[in-house]
Amino acid sequence: MPIKLPETLPAYTVLDGEGVMVMGDLRAARQDIRPLRIGLLNLMPKKIQTETQFARLIGATPLQIELSLIRMSDHQARNTAAAHMEEFYRPFSEVEAAGERFDGFIITGAPIEHLEFEDVTYWEELTRVMDWTQTHVHSTFGVCWGGMAMAWHFHGVPKHILPKKAFGCFRHHSLAPASPFLRGFSDDCTMPVSRWTEMRQEDIDRAPGLTTLMTADETGPCLVHDPGHRALYIINHLEYDSHTLKEEYDRDIAAGTPIDVPANYYPGNDPTKTPINRWRSHAHLLYGNWINEIYQTTPFDLAEIGR
């Protein structure tokens, strides 16, 4: 089954060209099934790139997915055209006022790691979003800073500033191979990492109800399950495209920002060579497993979600 997207959304053309099954409203209306409603609260500056990355992963399952793009109500995007935001995104305040419910909800990362959570301009509204997920969302996926924010809000798990950026592709191993979210995973896998902060295992261990599913020797815990809040937190970037780390590296070099060559990313650690994607299959597995768990457990009647 395909993912339902507006035919004018840039991701529609990109994914259709890649062979991902996509469809518009008219075709979706002809199918007599209830699609899974997935909301994407996109906090990343490059909205189009991020929405395409997540649509690619959640659209690769055998289920029909209806993706809703959501933004913070009063925060203005500076790196995405206003026309794009106006056409495809709705403010959270509108979604909240309408009493909408979702089978799944993704809260992305944001390049604001250096700030204390409470110093983020939209923190108050984001806490409202996170609390709202407990009554209006069946399963929530917090990604990178979004996952750290949820762990802090619900459990008081702090983020710690790193002495230098964790940047590159690192081997991660499973701590819970029987978890349904890791179904089909190898014993270890490569995953892109790009962050200035970390969550520490000792802090996670002190938070009742949290279980670390995946970790890395070099960069620490990565995937955390929070069943009490029907949530997963991943602080690394399986959704990244092959060239996303390269774009970040090239940006910092052009700006004169001190940055190491992303580890284990370029062949021979040579930035003149084309990066090799070693994580794509596990990205599809993780998000496919998440969608499958939602499908298996979500109520058929959306009005029953969160009750």
> pLDDT tens across 101-147, in order?
999 999 999 989 999 999 999 999 999 999 999 999 999 999 999 99
Cross-strand partners of 71: 91
233 three-class SS? strand
Q: Which of 144, 169, 189, 222 is catalytic?
A: 144
Is residue 239 within 8 A of residue 54, CB to CB? The reply is yes
Q: Which residue, among 148, 212, 219, has the nearest Cα to 177 in the 3D structure?
A: 212
113 to 117, 147, 161, 191, 252: CA distances (angstroms)? 8, 12, 8, 20, 16
Q: What is the pLDDT of residue 6?
A: 80
Q: How far, in whole angstroms, is CA 104 from its chain's centroid?
A: 11
Q: Which of 239, 248, 282, 293 is catalytic?
A: 239
Question: pLDDT per residue over 64-78, tens digit each?
Answer: 899 999 999 987 767
More confident residue, 150 or 84: 150
**Res. 274: pLDDT tops 70:** yes
222 is catalytic: no
User: Cα 132–137–143 angle (5° rounding)?
Assistant: 85
Q: What is the pLDDT of residue 16?
A: 76
Is residue 103 within 8 A of residue 37, CB to CB? The reply is yes
pLDDT more than 70, % of the chain: 93
Task: Measure the CA–CA gap between 73 and 125, rounded to whole angstroms.
Answer: 8
132 three-class SS? helix
286 to 30, 37, 61: CA distances (angstroms)? 30, 18, 11
What CATH superfamily classification does 3-161+196-241+281-304 receive? Class I glutamine amidotransferase (GATase) domain (3.40.50.880)
- For 22, the enclosing helix (H) or strand (E) is strand 22-23
Instruction: Using the structure block, give the residue that is written with the tokens 């890791």.
Output: 182
**Res. 96: pLDDT tops 70:** yes
Does the reported pTM lie above 0.85? yes
237 is catalytic: yes
More confident residue, 74 or 41: 41
189 is catalytic: no
Q: For the chain, give every domain's residue range.
A: 3-161+196-241+281-304
Exposed e or buried b for every residue in 151-160, given b needs 16+ CB within 10 A?
bbbbbebebe
Least confident of 23-27, 70-74, 146-150, 241-245: 23-27
32 to 7, 39, 299: CA distances (angstroms)? 20, 21, 17
Q: Which of 136, 138, 155, 237 is catalytic?
A: 237
171 to 3, 54, 246, 265: CA distances (angstroms)? 31, 22, 19, 12
